[in-house]
Amino acid sequence: MDVNLDVSGKLTALQVMQDSPVIPVIVLTDINQAVLLARALVAGGIRMLEVTLRTPQALACIEAIARDVPDAVVGAGTVRSALDVHACAMAGARFLVSPGYTHAVAQAGRDAGLPLLPGVTTGSEIMMAQEDGLSQLKFFPAMQAGGAAMLKAWGGPFGDVRFCPTGGVTAANAAEFLALPNVECVGGSWLTPPDVLARGNWAQVTALAFQACRLPR
Ligand code: 3PG
């Protein structure tokens, strides 16, 4: 964790990426778990939290974390439309992550004043994002779309772009990605296994976060 980062101010995409080696990708179905989970991750050293818009409870969970966990910086994942962007901004999300790239989502993020990490898998999408002024991108789905070898290849033509590979990244392969010069952090769901959440084993979540923070980069 970058203790010098003032998380109360306006964030940049690079600050979101650089705070810890891993951004947890979170799926919440129970609003009662949101604050407890966020506190457990923060206790383990991770405060940039991506809550995905994949459940009807997601926006309420974002709202609860934004309100009740001041040490967390809650963001929204699975943002797919300008409407999603508005809803997330209203709920208190501080950053946005999308699974793909559209100009409309990029524009909505800019209008809302929120940093966006948009997902890309091709050179064309990287070029579109850069045309819109975005050079901090999510590589998704990372393992399925070419893994570390793809990022190495992109390091040539897109040497000014920084990536957060997500999708199939685990505790076992995260270090391989983090060793690449164009990777700032990785994203993944392994810090929040559904069975651990179901049992309310927050100590286990804190332990997983603690281990993730110690990944070299
Ligand atoms: C996702 O969108 O589900 C994320 O990329 C997480 O993928 P993972 O479960 O493979 O970490």
Mean pLDDT of 134-139: 98
Number of compact structural domains in the chain: 1
Q: Does 73 score more than 60 pLDDT?
A: yes
Residue type at 60?
Answer: A
Residue 24, in any domain of the structure: yes
Residue 179: give its domain's CATH number: 3.20.20.70
Query: Which of 96, 169, 185 is the pocket-test mutation for ligand 1 (most atoms within 8 Å of CB)?
Result: 169
Question: Is 44's C-beta closer than 6 angstroms to any atom of ligand 1?
Answer: no
Residue 97, in any domain of the structure: yes
Residue 7, in any domain of the structure: no
Residue 6, in any domain of the structure: no
Burial readout 45-78 (b: 16 or more C-beta within 10 A, e: otherwise): bbbbbbbbbebebbbebbbbbbeebeebbbbbbb
Residue 172, in any domain of the structure: yes
Q: What is the pTM of this model?
A: 0.95
| Cis amide prior to 56 (ω within 30 degrees) | no
Residue the block writes with tokens 């190495």: 152
Mean pLDDT of 71-86: 98
Q: Does 80 score more than 50 pLDDT?
A: yes
Q: For residue range 2-16, list pLDDT tens digits in order.
A: 545 566 668 999 999
Give the percent of the chain with pLDDT over 70.
96
Q: For residue range 104-118, list pLDDT tens digits in order.
A: 999 999 999 999 999
State the distance from the centre of ligand 1 to the C-alpha of 92, rounded, in angstroms: 23
Q: Which domain holds residue 121?
A: 13-213
Angle (CA) 212-60-100 rounded to 5° is 60
Query: Which of 164, 166, 186, 191 is the pocket-test mutation for ligand 1 (most atoms within 8 Å of CB)?
Result: 166
Residue 8, in any domain of the structure: no
* Dihedral-angle region of residue 66 (phi above 0 means left; psi in -120 to 50 means alpha; beta otherwise): alpha
Question: Is 139's C-beta closer than 6 angstroms to any atom of ligand 1?
Answer: no
Rounded Cα gap, residues 77 and 75, in angstroms: 7
Residue 3, in any domain of the structure: no
State the distance from the centre of ligand 1 to the C-alpha of 169, rounded, in angstroms: 8
Residue 2, in any domain of the structure: no
Rounded Cα gap, residues 207 and 217, in angstroms: 19
Name the residue with the closest Cα to ligand 1, atom 8: 167
